[in-house]
């Protein structure tokens, strides 16, 4: 149950079988930092290549292919005041014939909004461009990209996501949440980064308020628990994440994973599980911007049978 | 501001230019009834052809193409105790290779779950099939299918939806909500039906708890307000509905309509509107079962500028 | 076996249960004309409302719901020299971020290319805009939109397509081809129009070379033959058409209909039919522009068992 | 202009930056072998892990990121007589409610069809399961999976495809064809494998007739030619390949790449290029089975301007 303090010096833009930066045991916690999506740290110095550079990978002893890695996000706090975001809707989230009417910058370059993030006050204030009346949004820090080394020896870009997690950009992956990942390689190789101070559903401007963060997480290993897609748990809900395009397919993955969970682990008869889901299930859109979209399937824990321990 | 009491004797399975059953004025209310999706009424007598038979159409005086019809759902209460639902996940919401593992009935016939709906207690209790521990869900009545006569002289099946509304199966279309429809024909021709006592997001078993209802609604007309997709408003949110397949396209319609609303009616600069949506927007899945899927784009009213009246 | 000569005076923009313009018998032929997609006739006079106005409907005696209507396209010839087409790629067929780079006209209006169509020479010559070296393409006339009254009492816009046919915009629907439509209403109610002098696969500029035509077709009725989607037959192939979005779903419909055809009508064992299709099937993209996309599934007749007559 | 003879001893299941097995120069040819999708060689001995194991990678001297690798497929011949294929339609290519009606094996295991491939006779004969009348299809060997090391340091599974090529399963990638790949890493790192003796469009049973092959290919490097997606050229056509889901997006990629090719390399004005494509473009379905689908956009060379050399 060690608390490791880890300061990254190397960052990765793929989730694959890189050399572990630290070996930790089930039950251990790690206090570390993440840089923003462009590779800038707490001092706004670029220390990593752009494109969701990851802190890690962490090797978790005992984790073997076929197991499940448990990650508790215990703390996630922006560690600087400068955040940035996109400022026009992503072309793929609007009607194709509306695309020319987006507020494209005249100079053809990609512009970004600048935000002042005040972690103590819990707010992000739009600095530039100025808008009439100003704009202040409440902080809700989340991890945009995290997960484990992908399957079959792949190294998958941190731009996208899959069964291994990755760039899911779901705002529910926030402090207090537990996330479960399938383990594909010995040690699982856990990576994390791409903190957002705030993000709307879908990440429809292509970013949240991107920022570097201090983060503390805790891991565990569930031997022999086989899951197919990332799962998650909050105080009130269980959740599954499907990552694919189109959104329909992401929803199919998440729904199937939820049905399997209820049927295979909670022991509900398929008719029971499915009749129940039909009347009480909920969905959340993770992202509809990245190469793979993310759909979350959600069930209130009140509907779960008491599991014998 | 008349309250009309209307008892339907004819029902329609398309939303087109049928003969109006009643002419009402802006500001008027109508107290009426709807039958269930199979055409059964409060007495469980089949009085209409299966497939979401509609009560209406109501001709609203003064409504012309290019205007917006306003519908307030003031009351919606199941008027019998028998409800029914699907009991296996729809094949299109799960992974294709999971389809053979759904609990298909052995006899090849479509089976339905039976529910006891207690409007006073606010509960629906699963009667058949029996499941271990029983299943009781709280009532949350909603209108599955309602809208206006479709555009360009079409008569659109109540199985599907479009710019005219229709079978959106969004559980947020519930008492207390105001819905806005584009008007395509003189009098708008408003139809309603397909009440659900309860429904999960997505209508993923292909039904809610289907039931006949007593309903009271009130209409208004906004002259010259041109909208492209159904919009809605609650005490706390404004919403837009996009109807299409895949879900990505439904989301594009809803998002574009929301951007237009903020930019064209609330007067936000596009950069303001879009930067805002990026960090605070929300989505809800209406249905992912019907020929057209429904995606809801949602914005908390706290983000709206005060409109000059 | 009458040859009817029919000069239309009324046109429809939906495929529904309109009053028949002519009643014909199985085996009969009809010589008639179609106007272009904007409603202009052989004299370039606008005689119908824009949006694929249809000639018809023709009531075919003996056709009942559950039967199949057979349509032979015996002749299709442009009857004027002026044709028009789109001149930029439709926003929905290119990458979303390429949309702003399409050659949008500066004045914000929709411009069209003008073509000189020479039916005798079998060519269409681009007249405007002028392009370096000129552009002459060989004629290959086809029917963009044709079909029967839709099911469940619907009237479906000629902008789109479905199980009833409609605006499939498949260039293979050309002289010499036989097309089969499911019959949904007594008399089938056959409509046709939207002739194209030429069209590439997918109709990716949103139009073919649009033109008015002389057309001669012949009908037949297959009593009790139940099909679910339009089918077709040429000298060398059998084809099925699926109409939906996304293209994946259109392909699913077409493939399923082909499997049913081989299994249910040609009597192939499912394993035989499917193993065969896997190695020899072909597809063609009908359209990827209209509200429903069209995918064609195609099988060379050499693979068909000899049917006992 | 060396002809290398290379006998593989190691195979890869991802396309990434593995150690090159051979360094070759632009203009060189390689005579080598590929194993089948399950890793079995000419002697039906398993020599590699299942899942499209690749021969290679070949390091091409002078190829740098931003260049284009040219691959000529000069010869491709099955080198054994045993081929295998799927024998039921993939669940994702049929209507979801048709999935339970596929000929699923009773024992729940995945069965395969066995074929006798006679390269001299140019035929594949179905051996098992037996079907009435037998089934003999003409050989048309193709490479299912080939391409270069993926971008941003990724190692991408040979199950899927992307801008780097990979498992496109397009039957047009056959002897006589030239293929162009974007280069992402020094030396390009070319891989090839997954030969099919025959395959229908779409690979709709999930396989072609899978077999090990003898293959001879020749490479070249085009310095500074920047392409975004694989392109190809035959005696009569130029082609672009888009890889994504849904098929709509694959088509968007392929169409955009074709427009860029015509506009940026052939110098056609966008209006010329797009008006032309609208009336003469063709598409072919590569695969609709793999994680990314493949759509081919095709243009007859008759429409190309003479390029100044």
DSSP D158: T
Render pLDDT for D189-219 as a digit per residue (tens, 0 to 9): 999 999 999 999 999 999 999 999 999 999 9
Q: Which tokens go with D247?
A: 């098929």
Q: Which tokens go with B243?
A: 């109807």
Distance from CA of C29 to the nearest CA of A (A): 42
Number of helical H runs and strand E runs in chain D: 2, 21
Q: Which residues of C touch A104 (CB under 8 A)?
A: 100
Chain B 158-187, residues with CB within 8 Å of chain C CB atoms: 159
Distance between alpha carbon D288 and the CA centroid of its chain, in Å? 13
The closest of A219, A193, A211, A215 to A55, measured between CA atoms, is A193
- State residue A53 phi and psi, 5-degree precision: -65, 140
| CB atoms C14 and B249 under 8 Å | no
Residue C252 touches partner D, C-beta closer than 8 Å: yes
So what's the pLDDT on residue A308?
A: 47
CA dist B305 → B178, B277, D15 (Å): 20, 14, 52
Helix, strand and coil content of chain D, in percent to the nearest 5, comes to 15, 40, 50
Whole-angstrom Cα distance, residue C36 to residue A245?
38
| Residue in A95, A98, A99, A293 to test binding to C, most C beta-carbons within 10 Å | A99
The closest of A28, A21, A49, A26 to A37, measured between CA atoms, is A49
Render pLDDT for C212-237 as a digit per residue (tens, 0 to 9): 999 999 999 999 999 999 999 999 99
Element (DSSP H or E) covering residue D272: helix D270-280
Q: How confident is the model at residue B108 (pLDDT cuts 50, 70, 90)?
A: low
Q: How confident is the model at residue D309 (pLDDT cuts 50, 70, 90)?
A: very low
* Residue B301 contacts residue B261 (beta carbons within 8 Å): no
Whole-angstrom Cα distance, residue A30 to residue A23?
10
* Residue D279 contacts residue C85 (beta carbons within 8 Å): yes
Residue with tokens 């310095």: D223
So what's the pLDDT on residue A248?
A: 98
Whole-angstrom Cα distance, residue C8 to residue C56?
7
Distance from CA of D60 to the nearest CA of A (A): 23
Distance from CA of B108 to the nearest CA of D (A): 11
Chain D 72-91, residues with CB within 8 Å of chain B CB atoms: 90-91
Q: Which tokens go with B14?
A: 């398309």
DSSP C302: G
| CB atoms D99 and B100 under 8 Å | yes
| CB atoms B152 and C244 under 8 Å | no
Q: Would the pLDDT of C308 be above 70?
A: no
Whole-angstrom Cα distance, residue A8 to residue A10?
6
Mean per-residue pLDDT of chain B:
96
* Residue B238 contacts residue B179 (beta carbons within 8 Å): no
* Residue C82 contacts residue C209 (beta carbons within 8 Å): no
So what's the pLDDT on residue C282?
A: 98
So what's the pLDDT on residue A307?
A: 54
Least confident piece of the model among B107-116, B224-233, D274-283: B107-116
Among the partner residues A99, A104, A246, nearest to C91 by beta-carbon distance: A99
Q: How confident is the model at residue B309 (pLDDT cuts 50, 70, 90)?
A: very low
Among the partner residues B98, B101, B246, nearest to A248 by beta-carbon distance: B246
So what's the pLDDT on residue C309?
A: 42
Rounded (10°) angle between helices B270-280 and B247-260:
130
Q: Which residues of B touch D91 (CB under 8 A)?
A: 96-97, 99
Distance between alpha carbon C294 and the CA centroid of its chain, in Å? 10
| CB atoms C99 and A104 under 8 Å | no
Least confident piece of the model among B96-110, B229-243, C17-31, C161-175: B96-110
Q: Which residues of C touch D279 (CB under 8 A)?
A: 85, 124, 137, 198-200, 205, 208-209
Q: Which residues of C touch A249 (CB under 8 A)?
A: none
Percent of chain D surpassing pLDDT 70: 98
Which CATH class for the A3-81+139-222 domain? mainly beta
So what's the pLDDT on residue D307?
A: 54
Q: Which residues of D touch C288 (CB under 8 A)?
A: 248, 251
| CB atoms A99 and C100 under 8 Å | yes
* Residue A124 contacts residue A197 (beta carbons within 8 Å): yes
Please give the CATH number for the structural domain made up of C3-80+140-222.
2.60.120.580
Distance from CA of A283 to the nearest CA of C (A): 22
Whole-angstrom Cα distance, residue C15 to residue C52?
11
Mean per-residue pLDDT of chain D:
96
Whole-angstrom Cα distance, residue C114 to residue B274?
39
Q: Which chains reach chain D with 3 or more Cβ–Cβ distances below 8 angstroms?
A: A, B, C
* Residue A297 contacts residue B216 (beta carbons within 8 Å): no
Residue B104 touches partner D, C-beta closer than 8 Å: yes
Is A252 strand, coil or helix? Answer: helix
Q: Which tokens go with A84?
A: 């940035």
Q: Which residue of C has its CA nearest to A93?
A: C96
Find residue B233's DSSP bridge partners: B178, B238
So what's the pLDDT on residue B88?
A: 96
* Residue C299 contacts residue C280 (beta carbons within 8 Å): yes
Beta pairing class for B165-167 and B178-182: unpaired
Count of A–C CB contacts within 8 Å?
20
Q: Would the pLDDT of B107 be above 90?
A: no
Distance from CA of A159 to the nearest CA of B (A): 18
DSSP states of C186-236: TT--EEEEEEES---TBTTTS--SB--EEEEEEEEEETT---SS-EEE-SS
Cα angle D289, D291, D295; round to 5: 65
So what's the pLDDT on residue D107?
A: 78
Query: What are the structural domain ranges in chain C?
Result: 3-80+140-222, 82-138, 231-303
Q: Which tokens go with C11?
A: 């046109």
Element (DSSP H or E) covering residue A222: strand A213-222
Per-residue pLDDT, averaged over D8-26, amounts to 98
DSSP A245: S
Whole-angstrom Cα distance, residue B73 to residue D26?
72
Architecture of the A231-303 domain: Roll (3.10)
Q: Which tokens go with A263?
A: 């049927």
CA dist C107 → B244, B264, C115 (Å): 31, 21, 22
Whole-angstrom Cα distance, residue A193 to residue A47?
13
Q: Which residues of A touch B137 (CB under 8 A)?
A: 279-280
Residue D96 touches partner B, C-beta closer than 8 Å: yes
Cα angle C143, C147, C148; round to 5: 160
| Residue in D18, D37, D149, D152 to test binding to A, most A beta-carbons within 10 Å | D152
Q: Which residue of D has its CA nearest to A92?
A: D249
Q: Which tokens go with C101?
A: 């780079």
So what's the pLDDT on residue A26?
A: 98
DSSP A132: T
Render pLDDT for B225-267 as a digit per residue (tens, 0 to 9): 999 999 999 999 999 999 999 999 999 999 999 999 999 999 9
Whole-angstrom Cα distance, residue D37 to residue D35?
7
Is B218 strand, coil or helix? Answer: strand
As a residue count, chain C comes to: 309
Q: Which residue of D has its CA nearest to C274?
A: D88
Q: Which residues of A touch D153 (CB under 8 A)?
A: 13-14, 155, 157
Render pLDDT for D232-252 as a digit per residue (tens, 0 to 9): 999 999 999 999 999 999 999
Find residue C136's DSSP bridge partners: C125
Beta pairing class for C22-24 and C54-60: parallel
Whole-angstrom Cα distance, residue A281 to residue B86?
14
Per-residue pLDDT, averaged over D176-188, amounts to 98
Low-confidence ranges of chain A (pLDDT < 50): 308-309
Residue A284 touches partner B, C-beta closer than 8 Å: yes
Least confident piece of the model among A283-292, B108-117, B137-146: B108-117
Q: Would the pLDDT of D308 be above 70?
A: no
| Residue in B95, B100, B245 to test binding to D, most D beta-carbons within 10 Å | B100
CA dist C121 → A70, C136, D117 (Å): 73, 11, 47
Q: Which residue of D has its CA nearest to B92?
A: D96
Is B118 strand, coil or helix? Answer: strand
Return the higher-pLDDT residue of A121 and C110: A121
As a residue count, chain A comes to: 309
DSSP D111: P
Q: Would the pLDDT of D258 be above 80?
A: yes
Residue D121 touches partner A, C-beta closer than 8 Å: no
Distance from CA of D294 to the nearest CA of A (A): 14
Distance from CA of D14 to the nearest CA of A (A): 6
As a residue count, chain B comes to: 309
Among the partner residues A251, A282, A284, nearest to B247 by beta-carbon distance: A251
So what's the pLDDT on residue A111?
A: 84
Per-residue pLDDT, averaged over D156-164, amounts to 98
User: Cis before residue D57, ω within 30 degrees of 0?
Assistant: yes
Render pLDDT for C111-124 as a digit per residue (tens, 0 to 9): 899 999 999 999 99
Among the partner residues B89, B201, B246, nearest to A274 by beta-carbon distance: B89
């Amino acid at each position: 149950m060690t608390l490791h303090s880890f300061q990254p010096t190397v960052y990765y833009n793929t989730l694959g079988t890189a050399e572990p930066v630290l070996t930790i045991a089930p039950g251990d916690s790690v206090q570390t930092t993440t840089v923003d999506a462009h590779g800038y740290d707490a001092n706004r110095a670029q220390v990593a290549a752009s494109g969701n550079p990851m802190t890690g990978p962490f090797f978790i002893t005992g984790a073997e292919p076929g197991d499940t890695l448990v990650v508790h996000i215990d703390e996630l706090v922006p560690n600087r005041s400068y955040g940035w975001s996109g400022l026009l809707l992503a072309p793929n989230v609007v009607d194709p014939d509306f695309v020319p009417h987006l507020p494209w910058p005249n100079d053809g370059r990609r512009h970004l909004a600048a935000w002042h993030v005040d972690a103590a006050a819990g707010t992000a204030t739009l600095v530039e461009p100025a808008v009439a009346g100003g704009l202040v949004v409440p902080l809700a820090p989340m991890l945009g990209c995290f997960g484990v080394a992908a399957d079959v020896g792949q190294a998958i870009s941190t731009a996208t996501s899959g069964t291994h997690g990755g760039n899911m950009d779901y705002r529910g992956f926030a402090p207090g949440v537990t996330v479960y990942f399938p383990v594909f390689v010995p040690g699982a190789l856990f990576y994390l980064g791409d903190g957002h101070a705030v993000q709307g559903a879908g990440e429809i401007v292509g970013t949240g308020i991107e920022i570097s963060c201090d983060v503390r997480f805790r891991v565990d290993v569930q031997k022999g628990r086989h899951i197919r897609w990332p799962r998650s748990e909050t105080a009130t809900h269980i959740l599954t994440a499907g990552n694919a395009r189109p959104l329909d397919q992401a929803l199919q993955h998440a729904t199937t994973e939820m049905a399997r969970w209820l049927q295979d682990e909670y022991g509900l008869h398929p008719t029971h599980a499915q009749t129940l889901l039909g009347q009480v299930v909920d969905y959340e859109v993770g992202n509809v911007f990245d190469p793979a979209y993310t759909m979350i399937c959600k069930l209130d824990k009140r509907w779960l049978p008491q599991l014998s321990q």
